[in-house]
Structure 1
Amino acid sequence: MHTVRLKGTSKTLRVGKVICLARNYSEHIKELGNAVPEKPVLFIKPASSIIGRHEAVVIPAFSQDCQHEVELAVLIGKWGKNISAKEALNHVAGYGVALDMTLRDVQNELKQKGLPWEIAKGFDTACPLSDFVPAAEVGDPHNLRITLKVNEQLRQDGNTAQMMRRIPEIIQAVSEIFTLEEGDVILTGTPSGVGAVKSGDRMLAEIEKVGCLETPVQ
């Protein structure tokens, strides 16, 4: 069982599932050579893939290309099904910093075969996650600088304003398929600049008004 903390409160929430939105930043779509999706592309990371602050990403022996993807994480604060975009932000408890660690070589091989690629996204330690800031403290989540450094070198530098689908639309789409429960987390996609990490690297992910997440690689 993994729990997350809402900063400034005594509240902790048990994470049930982590729902991820792929291909939500156009420049990231271009850098991977993917097509722009007509509908949201969703996948799930198991809660067992979550690690907290300063815990290490462990690259599995079966991959030679583990890549970083920094993302704005949305913490769901109350139950909902078929949530309208108008009501969606009322279901948000807070925002956090996440890394969607991806075994790119494994993912590409599985995609070429037409197979599911959860192995590449859901392995143990694949979801470093910060504490969450209450939603009211963030204000507009659609205008936040989002960056990632590896060994102090800037790799990713974007803004959540570049998201193709905004958070209310994401929540609406997700809740039409998966019932959202208190403690669920939604990852909203990554800007361009993704790249490989290796054992001994240190990643520093930061999102304006939300916080930072420092993660070593083992």
Structure 2
Amino acid sequence: MPFLFAQNVVPAVPIWGEKDIYFPINRVYCIGANYWDHVKEVGAEGRERPFFFAKPADAVQVCREGKSIEIPYARNTENLCLEVELVIAIGKNAPEAGEISVAEADDYIYGYGAGIDFTKRDWQNILREHRQPWELAKGFDASAVISEIRDKHRMPDMDEAVLWLYVNNQERQRGNTKEMIWKIPEIINELSKNFRLMAGDLIYTGSPKGSGPIEAGQSFEGGVNGVGTFRGLITPRP
């Protein structure tokens, strides 16, 4: 099939412990406000219906285990924030019709990664005020980080995994997946009601309290115990 111009490289994540095997990214879904302490932090109440947003596949920046990456400070913002998240890697196509039940959800998981969700907080506040979509605040270039993906059979259970994030060597976040409002099978079930989940989809599962700003010149380091780690530097805008 001839194309008008050269096709972009397919965004992909290396598989931990495997040589030259990659997880091709299809779609990137994110759930908002999914930890009890974070919900209280932003002034929400109770177990409300989950809400989701998306990021482009090519917005994901890969950080290999033991390596460091550089990410330029996002354009058109003065308040770039970051938060650590557990990331689900879907490895099996859902049926064309119907949803994935809570009981079936684990069958569709290939593995997990540790990630960062970056947000232009100033833009998010403006968009919230005007009841507009969040793309400008969430879907920008380099708006997500992910570690190498681990096969779920080569890692511990994710029901009680510790998440942590440091900025400039100062602890910013520490939480546990047991504090999730919507658990992993429930997230997959809810998404499948509206989208056909496909092999290659990534799902960022929310973050504990402590999300805050990062400046150009500051470093970050974090991860999810038993899953993976990442570290990097925010560089000045080009």
TM-score (norm 1): 0.96
Considering only aligned residues, what root-mean-square deviation do their CA atoms show, in Å? 1.3
Contact 2:115 2:146 in 1 (8 A): yes
1:77 corresponds to which of 71, 91, 99? 91
Aligned to 1:112: 129
Shift of 1:179: 0.9
Query: What do residues 158-179 of structure 1 show as CA deviations (whole Å, max 9, x unaligned)?
Result: 1011001110010011111111
Contact 1:6 1:94 in 2 (8 A): no
Which runs of no fewer than 5 residues in structure 1 stay unpaired? none
Contact 2:115 2:223 in 1 (8 A): no
What secondary structure is seen at the aligned counterpart in 2 of 1:28?
helix
What secondary structure is seen at the aligned counterpart in 1 of 2:13?
strand
Quick one: distance in 1 between partners of 2:76 and 2:85? 25
Shift of 1:61: 3.3
Quick one: distance in 2 between partners of 1:38 and 1:161? 17
Aligned to 1:60: 74
Contact 1:23 1:36 in 2 (8 A): no
Shift of 1:191: 0.3
Shift of 1:29: 1.6
Counterpart AA for 1:78: K
What secondary structure is seen at the aligned counterpart in 2 of 1:85?
coil
Counterpart AA for 1:80: A
Shift of 1:60: 2.6
What secondary structure is seen at the aligned counterpart in 2 of 1:124?
coil
Query: What do residues 55-101 of structure 1 show as CA deviations (whole Å, max 9, x unaligned)?
Result: 32322331111111100000000101411110101111111011000
Quick one: distance in 2 between partners of 1:203 and 1:185? 22
Radius of gyration: which is bigger?
2
1:12 and 2:22 correspond:
yes
* Equivalent residue runs for 1:8-157 within 5 Å: 8-10=17-19, 11-36=21-46, 38-53=48-63, 54-81=68-95, 82-157=99-174
- Comparing 67-76 with 31-40, greater Cα deviation is found at 31-40
Provide the identity percentage: 35
Counterpart AA for 2:222: A
Contact 1:206 1:212 in 2 (8 A): yes
Contact 2:70 2:233 in 1 (8 A): yes
Shift of 1:37: 5.5
Query: What do residues 20-48 of structure 1 show as CA deviations (whole Å, max 9, x unaligned)?
Result: 01010021122223454521110101112
Counterpart AA for 2:121: R
Quick one: distance in 1 between partners of 2:117 and 2:105? 23
1:200 corresponds to which of 196, 217, 235? 217
Aligned length, in residue pairs: 218
What secondary structure is seen at the aligned counterpart in 2 of 1:213?
strand
Counterpart AA for 2:17: G
What secondary structure is seen at the aligned counterpart in 1 of 2:39?
helix
Contact 1:17 1:46 in 2 (8 A): yes
Counterpart AA for 1:30: K
